[in-house]
């Protein structure tokens, strides 16, 4: 008898059992586990499957060239310049140089969402002026509509919206919610009427810079022929600016809102991966 995942199973003699769901491959007549260069099982249980609300999920599988595979239902992304690195725990992440690095996904499956959540882990390299972490753009032209999130000069998070290239709503957290060179889990979620921000599993006050906190989300932007998700940069009118210098991991967009309890549990479940 053999115990697999806590269940006692009858297994025939000489049966090959693969840990973590990995597969064995025949290398020069010797059966070996199918590991990638990062020492992780590719087809095992390294990444939990996304829930049904997930629209974009980019956990990352290194060694795939300029493609980052989406596990959430959108098209795969294109990596430009950003490089794969690895945490001591084995988790891969993308490093952005703040000059021309970015990831783009055309027509992500979020266009019609009136509610939802965007979350990720980030680590900023140095104190600077405002750097944008991600943006969602409807039509890359001078009349562009944009939703974007960044880190401002006093290490506060900002989220703002442009309509026809002009800012019409903007929010920010209090200063100092981000610590340089430290990993943070950041989340913005909307129930259709109010935006809520969480950092490291805790809710943060959002101050109104312009307009109001009225829960604007992707469906509130104009419907245009094309839309693009950019990670590591943003659009200034019709120009794509890649200005984020730092690291990003586990980027996710969903069609579900997140509560304080949801975020506290998620942060507690993932923090060990980032050493925080």
pLDDT at 209: 95
Which residues face 222 on adjacent strands?
A: none
pLDDT at 65: 78
Q: Say if residue 16's pLDDT is above 60.
A: no
pLDDT of residue 149: 95
pLDDT of residue 224: 62
* Main-chain phi, psi angles of 62, to 5 degrees: -60, 160
Best-predicted range by mean pLDDT (46-50, 101-105, 217-221, 235-239)? 101-105
Please give the share of the chain, as a percent, with pLDDT higher than 90: 46
> Which pLDDT value is given to residue 99?
85
Task: Extract the tokens encoding 208.
Answer: 């109104």
31-38: Cβ within 8 A, 24+ apart = 36/61, 36/62, 36/63, 37/62, 37/63, 38/62, 38/63, 38/86, 38/90, 38/92
More confident residue, 239 or 89: 89
Per-residue pLDDT, 69 = 86
pLDDT (tens digit per residue) in 56-112: 998 877 656 788 888 887 789 999 999 999 898 888 899 999 888 999 998 888 888
Mean pLDDT, rounded, for 36-57:
59
Q: Which pLDDT value is given to residue 236? A: 66
The arithmetic mean of pLDDT across residues 249-261, rounded, is 95
Higher pLDDT among residues 58 and 241, named by residue: 58
pLDDT, tens digit, for every residue of 142-170?
Answer: 567 788 999 998 999 999 988 777 778 89
For residue range 108-129, list pLDDT tens digits in order: 888 889 999 999 999 999 888 8
Q: Which residue has the tokens 């300029």?
A: 66
- Provide the token pair at 207: 């101050």
Q: Which range (45-54, 59-68, 252-261) has the least confidence? A: 45-54
Domains and CATH numbers, the chain: 20-48 (no CATH), 54-274 (2.60.120.200)
Tokens of 38: 């990062």
> Is the four-CA dihedral 93, 98, 101, 106 of positive or negative sign?
positive
- Computed over every residue of the chain, the mean pLDDT equals 80
pLDDT given for residue 8 in this prediction: 45
> Average of pLDDT values for 199-205?
97
> What's the pLDDT score for residue 246?
96
Per-residue confidence band for 260, with pLDDT thresholds at 50, 70 and 90: very high
Nearest to 92 by CA among 125, 69, 119, 126: 69
Nearest to 99 by CA among 237, 236, 240: 240
Mean pLDDT of the region 6-27: 44
What average pLDDT does range 221-241 have in this prediction? 76
The torsion of the CA quartet 175, 177, 182, 188, rounded to 10 degrees, works out to -130
């Amino acid at each position: 008898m053999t115990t697999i995942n806590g269940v006692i199973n009858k297994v025939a003699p000489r049966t090959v059992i693969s840990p973590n769901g990995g597969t064995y491959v025949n290398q020069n007549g010797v059966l070996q586990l199918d590991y990638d260069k990062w020492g992780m099982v590719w087809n095992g249980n390294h990444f939990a499957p996304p829930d049904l609300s997930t629209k974009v999920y980019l956990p990352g599988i290194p060694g795939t060239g300029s493609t980052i595979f989406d596990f959430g239902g959108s098209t795969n992304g294109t990596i430009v310049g950003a490089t794969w690195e690895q945490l001591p725990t084995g988790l891969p992440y993308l490093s952005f140089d703040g000059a021309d690095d970015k990831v783009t996904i055309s027509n992500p499956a979020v266009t019609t969402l009136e509610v939802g959540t965007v979350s990720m882990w980030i680590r900023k390299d140095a104190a600077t002026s405002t750097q944008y972490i991600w943006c969602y753009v409807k039509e890359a032209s001078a009349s562009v509509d944009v939703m974007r999130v960044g880190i401002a000069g006093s290490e506060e998070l900002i989220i703002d919206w442009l309509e026809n290239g002009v800012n019409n709503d903007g929010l920010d957290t209090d200063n100092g919610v981000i610590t340089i060179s430290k990993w943070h889990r950041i989340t913005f979620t909307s129930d259709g009427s109010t935006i809520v921000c969480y950092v490291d599993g805790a809710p943060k006050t959002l101050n109104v810079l312009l307009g109001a906190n009225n829960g604007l989300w992707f469906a509130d932007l104009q419907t245009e022929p094309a839309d693009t998700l950019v990670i590591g940069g943003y659009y200034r009118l019709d120009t794509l600016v890649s200005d984020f210098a730092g690291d990003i991991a586990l980027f996710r967009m969903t069609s579900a809102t997140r509560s304080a309890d949801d975020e506290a549990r998620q942060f507690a479940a993932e923090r060990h991966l980032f050493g925080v």
